[in-house]
């Protein structure tokens, strides 16, 4: 609990309020380097004040307060830990796992500095540093920035013009696999900053294909076996029939999206099907990715008794998403997908 020191001068009170504001800014997720620049103070002072607050609350930020027993985690150590988490990954510290879990953070502190923290203490420390556990976004290191720029500035706008000229509906299509042993993890990272994990990156389960449109439509199919160009084209033909209008389908660069039976649809056809492609290694541009995020998150909370049970739950979840047009529309409002929201 904060208590006000007796006989503080206006200058002392002003300095206290400044330190308090610094601590609160870091806890909100503002970068310490930015906080230091805004408040015109050394970076080490930011972490020193956060450490004092962690040890004794806001009252510890007042001048003349005794330090008491030595702190386990001082300002220098806080700065070291923050930079370790935000500027690198656990693999740089000889861990095989690439996510900053609470267990890895506690292990690192004990191994490198001999400091043992409870789970609660470790979690509190990270939150004081403006970090929070988040589901990371996986991004390929092989992305071509120029290809992304061309797609966003030239390719996609031309597809929108084609859709308006021909009355076609644009769909984003993607495939996924769900397995009985699948799971999703979280990693600690700055508040409000989705962590990105480079991925080069499928046991018992199902294969899925779905399509979403900026109108809020969702169509899907659940199957077993591998995806082929024949299966892909069959899905598109059914999608075209269900839509009742020409369709422009935007998919990734998998071979079955552009070879075999799919090849003749790479240009507009009399059947009213046109296949276009995203830049390579850029799945974040596909709103349909969010279908799988929702499906796998909800599926991961269920106890699946058998393969048949799993298939039933997969279909139930996809149908529930399908009935919520506002949810599908939200897939087009993310930072990386908002470019596709105005194609109707």
Residues 223, 231: Cα–Cα separation, whole Å: 10
Residue 111 has pLDDT above 60, yes or no: yes
Buried b (16+ CB within 10 A) or exposed e, 30-56: bbbeebbeeeebeeebbbbbbbbbbbb
Q: What is the mean pLDDT of the chain?
A: 87
Strands (E), the chain: 131-134, 137-139, 169-179, 187-190, 196-198, 205-212, 218-223, 247-251, 273-277
CATH H superfamily, domain 141-184+196-340: Ribonuclease H-like superfamily/Ribonuclease H (3.30.420.10)
- What lies within 8 Å, CB to CB, of 142 at 6+ separation is 280, 281
Residues 242, 148: Cα–Cα separation, whole Å: 31
The pairing of beta strand 205-212 with beta strand 169-179: antiparallel
pLDDT tens for each residue of 34-78? 999 999 999 999 999 999 998 888 988 988 765 555 567 889 999
**Cβ count within 10 A of residue 200:** 8
Q: Quick one: pLDDT at residue 342?
A: 80
Q: Quick one: pLDDT at residue 190?
A: 80
Q: Give the length of the chain.
A: 344
Residues 141, 48: Cα–Cα separation, whole Å: 36
| SS3 of residue 207 by DSSP | strand
Residues 246, 212: Cα–Cα separation, whole Å: 15
pTM above 0.75, yes or no: no
Q: Quick one: pLDDT at residue 181?
A: 54
Backbone angles phi, psi at 138, to 5 degrees: -90, 130
Domain limits, CATH 3.30.420.10, in the chain: 141-184+196-340
- Specify burial of residue 134 (Cβ count, 10 A radius: 0-12, 13-18, 19+): middle
Residues 344, 248: Cα–Cα separation, whole Å: 12
Residue 211 has pLDDT above 80, yes or no: yes
Q: Quick one: pLDDT at residue 202?
A: 37
Residues 76, 42: Cα–Cα separation, whole Å: 12
């Amino acid at each position: 609990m904060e208590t006000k020191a007796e006989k503080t001068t206006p200058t002392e009170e002003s300095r206290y309020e400044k330190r308090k504001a610094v601590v609160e800014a870091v806890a909100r997720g503002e970068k310490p380097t930015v906080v230091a620049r805004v408040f015109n103070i050394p970076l080490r002072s930011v972490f020193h004040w956060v450490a004092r607050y962690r040890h004794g609350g806001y009252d510890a930020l007042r001048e003349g307060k005794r330090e008491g027993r030595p702190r386990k985690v001082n300002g220098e150590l806080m700065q070291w830990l923050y930079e370790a988490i935000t500027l690198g990954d656990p693999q740089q510290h000889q861990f095989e796992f690439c996510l900053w879990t609470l267990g890895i953070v506690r292990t690192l502190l004990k191994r490198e500095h001999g400091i043992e923290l409870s789970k609660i203490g470790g979690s509190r420390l990270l939150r004081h540093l403006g970090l929070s556990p988040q589901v990371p976004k996986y991004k390929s290191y092989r992305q071509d920035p120029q290809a992304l720029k061309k797609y966003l500035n030239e390719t996609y706008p031309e597809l929108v013009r084609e859709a308006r000229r021909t009355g076609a509906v644009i769909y984003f299509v993607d495939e996924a696999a769900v397995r009985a042993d699948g799971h999703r993890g979280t990693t600690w990272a700055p508040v409000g900053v989705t962590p990105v994990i480079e991925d080069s990156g499928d046991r018992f389960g199902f294969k899925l294909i779905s399509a979403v449109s900026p109108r809020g439509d969702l169509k899907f199919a659940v199957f077993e076996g591998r995806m082929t160009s024949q299966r892909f084209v069959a899905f598109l033909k059914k999608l075209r029939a269900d839509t009742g209008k020409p369709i422009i389908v935007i998919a990734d660069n998998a071979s079955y999206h552009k070879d075999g039976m799919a090849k003749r649809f790479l240009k507009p056809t009399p059947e009213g099907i046109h296949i276009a492609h995203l830049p390579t290694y850029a799945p974040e541009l596909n709103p349909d990715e969010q279908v799988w995020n929702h499906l796998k998150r909800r599926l991961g909370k269920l106890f699946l008794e058998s393969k048949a049970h799993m298939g039933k739950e997969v279909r139930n979840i996809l149908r529930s998403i399908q009935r919520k047009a506002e949810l599908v529309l939200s897939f087009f409002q993310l930072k990386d997908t908002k470019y596709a929201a105005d194609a109707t």
